[in-house]
Amino acid sequence: MNGWPALERFLRTDPRDVGCAQAMEMLHVYAELVASGDPAEERYPGIAAHLHACGPCGEDFQGLLAAIRGEAP
Amino acid sequence: MNETLDAESAEWVRGLAGSGGRREAALARLHERLVRIARGEVSRRGPRLAISGPELDDLAYQAAADALVAILGKLGQFRGESRFTTWAYKFVILEVSAKIGRHFWRHPAVALDGEDWDRLPGWFGFDPVQEAEWRDLLAALRRAVETELTSRQREIFVAIVLNGVPLDALVLRLGSSRNAIYKMLFDARRKLRAALAANGYLPDDCSGGS
């Protein structure tokens, strides 16, 4: 149907997206849920939507996740 | 304040909020952890950065030092929603991001005043075989950028999308915040998508908000 998937993905916006400030405020809580295997995306869909769409916040999330996973017993 | 904290987190808070040798020991222990996390984070991001070697290590130490100051300043705000260390590591990860953004302007590889439209076909993975079609699409996108966006939205779209300026670096250049720049780009993306859909270049979208 659409021959421009990357452009389509870039331009598509999710109305649930909470933005950087709210996502960063809760990043430690969200990352810990993900690390423990809890359904973080279901509990915080707006943060999940944001982390998928925002490169810098997504990078910070991956960094924090790597940090806490690296500390796992 | 600390009744909901797990034992390890409570120990961290007691140590850092205390005094004397106990506080010094907690500070040294936290600093050591922050340096380790910062070094891990700069090595994780390193391959994608134009920074390497001692400069990267220096950035990690600076991020750890600044994160420690920020953590101590906000210690009273820690509510135990996560482990203390997870909360603390967030500070150092964000400091690494900010310092990488600042570093970009020491050796900027792009000019802010240009508009590199030729970058887009590669960025969006357009197939050279379909060039006639995507030329038409890009012309429509360009028209939409010129007619649908506010001057501030256009400035941000051009810097990030056409000129490849990292969002955190643009935040510093414009004296703004990540949230504000992201919101402006978010609104620009929504408007551009609507314009391209209205002209039949992209499918109608019922999930993209109003």
Complex ipTM more than 0.95, yes or no: no
Radius of gyration of chain A (CA): 14
Predicted local confidence at residue A2, as pLDDT: 58
Residues of B in contact with A10 (CB under 8 A): 124, 161, 189
pLDDT tens digits, A15-62: 999 999 999 999 999 999 999 999 999 999 999 999 999 999 999 999
Q: In which residue ranges of chain B is CATH 1.10.10.10 found?
A: 119-198
- pLDDT tier for residue B15 given thresholds of 50, 70 and 90: very high
Predicted local confidence at residue B208, as pLDDT: 43
Q: Is residue A56 part of a domain?
A: yes
Q: Is residue A52 part of a domain?
A: yes
pTM as predicted: 0.89
Q: Does pLDDT of B209 surpass 50?
A: no
pLDDT tens digits, B56-66: 899 999 999 99
Q: In which residue ranges of chain B is CATH 1.10.1740 found?
A: 7-104
| Tokens (6 digits) for B192 | 């551009």
Q: Is residue A43 part of a domain?
A: yes
Residues of A in contact with B141 (CB under 8 A): 7
Radius of gyration of chain B (CA): 23
Q: Could you say which of B89, B182, B192 has the minimum Cβ distance to residue A11?
A: B192
pLDDT tens digits, B113-134: 678 888 889 888 888 888 888 8
Q: Is residue A4 part of a domain?
A: no
Work out the minimum CA distance from A41 to partner chain B, whole angstroms. 17
- Please state whether B175 falls in left (phi above 0), alpha (psi between -120 and 50) or beta: left
Q: Which residue is it, tokens 């779209």? A: B157
The domain in which residue A58 lies consists of 17-70
Burial of A47 (0-12, 13-18, 19+ CB in 10 A): buried
**Torsion angle, CA of B42/B46/B52/B53, rounded to 10 degrees?**
50
CATH number 1.10.1740 is the correct assignment for the domain at B7-104? yes
Distance (Å) of CA B116 to CA A47, B68, B113, B149: 32, 40, 10, 18
CATH topology of domain B119-198: Arc Repressor Mutant, subunit A (1.10.10)
Contact (CB, 8 A) for B15 and B23: yes
Q: Which residue is it, tokens 């420690």? A: B68
Better pLDDT: B127 or B109: B127
Predicted local confidence at residue B205, as pLDDT: 67
Q: Is residue A11 part of a domain?
A: no
Mean of pLDDT values over B29-48: 93
Predicted local confidence at residue B2, as pLDDT: 47
